[in-house]
Structure 1
Amino acid sequence: MERALRLTAVGRRYGVRGPWVLRDVHLDLPPAALTRVEGPNGTGKSTLLRLLARVDAPTEGTVTGRPRTAYVPERFPSALPFTALDYLTHLGTVHGLTRKAARRAAGDRLDRFGAAAHALTPMSSLSKGGSQKVAVAQALLAEPELLILDEAWTGLDTEARAELERAVAERTAAGSAVVFVDHDPRRLAGAADAVHTVRDGTLHRRTGEPAVADGPGADGPRTVVVVRGPAPLPPEALRLATAEETADGAHRLTVRASHSDVVLRALLSAHRPYHVVSVNPLDVNPADPEGRG
């Protein structure tokens, strides 16, 4: 199965003679890449994401590639005849898990997003925030190769928003493509590998974006992780961090603070685990440029 997804000359309109919402759209979503889609309301961003999720079919053009896809729509249908836990358990069995494993995974996802207390609440009785946590949990349950997020942070509390950012970092570190729309320009600022703007019914790539999610040019607070262990470093860590070898043979990794726990998990769960020497905010001690604490 081809993990990369590609749109070639794609157009979409509703009705035989309806106006074109999108036309001549070209877009590649390679593995391990984070893509942001921007544009004013009503320009076709959600239509584009529905095409990527294959919820809608293009009126013209082609969509190629069949990555395992999960989608969080802008409006999640919460009036379903399940409790939150039963709904996620059912989806887990659809993804091939045993019922016992699916129920355990469902409980873990709800706990991760602070919704464990609502596990037995009927979906129709959940608040907007509770429903959104279930929407995010169902998408991550599949461990998708392509994760599509349409305003997925809307309605989440502060802790859940931060947890979703960590989940995005985990998916890209695992080699998944992630594409998202969010009204807050600060959301994952500086982290995207590519930013595209929907304008005049088509897609325009913004130039001058960073090639990687982290590094000296990234926005936001950063963390320096110093470890000792074998080279090369795990690819899951290198996708999210810039690395250099120190004078005494250690590895110094610079990573966005929100992604540091993902990098640490990759290092500590490697076949030959790394010894963590220090974890410090960048420039916390100018007299100690190697980050040795």
Structure 2
Amino acid sequence: MTEPASRPAEAPRTHRTALAATGIEKAYRRGPWPARRTVAVLRGVDLDLAPGEVVGLVGENGSGKSTLMKILVGALAADAGTVTRAGRLGYCPQEPVVYERLTCDEHFELFGRAYAMTSEAERRSRRRIYTDLGFERYAGTRADQLSGGTLAKLNLGLALLADPEVLLLDEPYAGFDFDTYLRFWDLVGERRRTGRSVLIISHFVSDRERFDRIVELRDGRAVPR
């Protein structure tokens, strides 16, 4: 099922940019008044993602990885800079955003409506996600009864549901067992071959050869690694 851990074949390149961030700045005010101070987290980050490219985003804790991801998807406003996107985004946050009393099936139905998918398209995509990630037997299980690993599968599945052109993943495989980890990379490889882009945040990068390139957030800026 899983491809050898080697660099995937190059997907066709175009001059299009799937996602581009330019000059992104973000600062937070921390501490009690009157000793409150402004702490700059992002100091002019430039980052681009080409169609069919898989990019890893790494950095120390507190370097601003999740802050940048939230800005890229529009969940957080930057203090300065611009973000341009081509096509639909799929976002897998580090902490799953689910409704405890809804089953996995009900989550897919809800998100399908939010994506304006037809019922047929949503069901077809849902069935494939269950098969690809191996959790179909939990289709009727409420989110508050799922194990951490299965909840992580649901979190990723919701990001994949609408087959987005750009997939943004924040620590997506935390809690996965090794089999699911390999299934995850199968999915990433398939998306790459079809010209879809993936940005993956991680504290560390293993299987480096699976990425086209690695970008590190250091001192508030994005630098190649």
Same fold (TM over 0.5): yes
Q: In the alignment, what sits opposite 1:134?
A: 154
**Whole-Å separation in 2 of the counterparts to 1:118 and 1:196:** 36
Q: Deviations over 1:12-34 (max 9, x none)?
A: 12359631111111111111111
Higher RCO, 1 or 2 (CA under 8 Å, sep at least 6)? 2
AA partner of residue 211 (structure 2): A
Task: Give the percent of matched residue pairs that are identical in Structure 1 and Structure 2.
Answer: 32
Equivalent in the alignment of 2:28: 14
The equivalent residue for 1:148 is: 168
Question: How far apart are the structure 2 equivalents of 1:81 and 1:110?
Answer: 19
Specify every segment of 5 or more residues in structure 1 that has no aligned partner in the other structure, as ranges: 207-293
In structure 2, C-alpha distance between the alignment counterparts of 1:101 and 1:181, rounded to whole Å: 29
Q: Taking structure 2 as the reference length, what is the TM-score of the superposition?
A: 0.83
**Is 1:44 equivalent to 2:64 in the alignment?**
yes
Change (3 A) 1:192 1:73: same
1:86 paired with 2:103, answer: no
Q: Residue 201 of structure 1 aligns to which amino acid in structure 2?
A: G
Q: 1:189 pairs with 196, 208, 223, which one?
A: 208
3-state SS of paired residue (2:210): coil
> Alignment length, in residue pairs?
204
Match of 1:114 in 2: 134
**How far 1:48 sits from its partner (Å)?**
1.4
- Structure 1 CA distance, aligned partners of 2:131 and 2:210? 26
How far is 1:191 from its partner?
2.4
Structure with higher Rg: it is: 1
Contact kept in structure 2, 1:107 and 1:119, CA below 8 Å: no
Shift of residue 58, structure 1, vs aligned partner:
1.0
- 90-99 or 173-182, larger mean C-alpha shift: 90-99
Taking the TM superposition and a 5 Å limit, the aligned residue runs for 1:108-257 are 108-186=128-206, 188-206=207-225
Question: Are residues 1:31 and 2:33 paired?
Answer: no
In structure 2, distance between residues paired with 1:4 and 1:113: 26
Which residue matches 2:3? Answer: none
Q: Is the 8 A contact 2:61 2:203 kept in 1?
A: no
What's the C-alpha RMSD, in Å, of the aligned pairs?
1.9
CA distance in 2, matches of 1:78, 1:128: 12
CA displacement, residues 193-249 of structure 1 (integer Å, 9 cap, x when unaligned): 22111111111112xxxxxxxxxxxxxxxxxxxxxxxxxxxxxxxxxxxxxxxxxxx
Whole-angstrom distance in 2 between the partners of 1:109 and 1:19: 41
Give the secondary-structure state (helix, strand or coil) at the position aligned to 1:12.
Answer: strand
Give how far 1:75 is off: 0.7
Runs of 4+, deviation exceeding 4 Å: none
CA distance, structure 2, for counterparts of residue 78 and residue 129 of structure 1: 14
Match of 1:56 in 2: 76
Which secondary structure state, in structure 1, belongs to the residue aligned with residue 21 of structure 2? strand
Post-superposition offset of 1:100: 3.8
1:72 aligns with 2:86: no
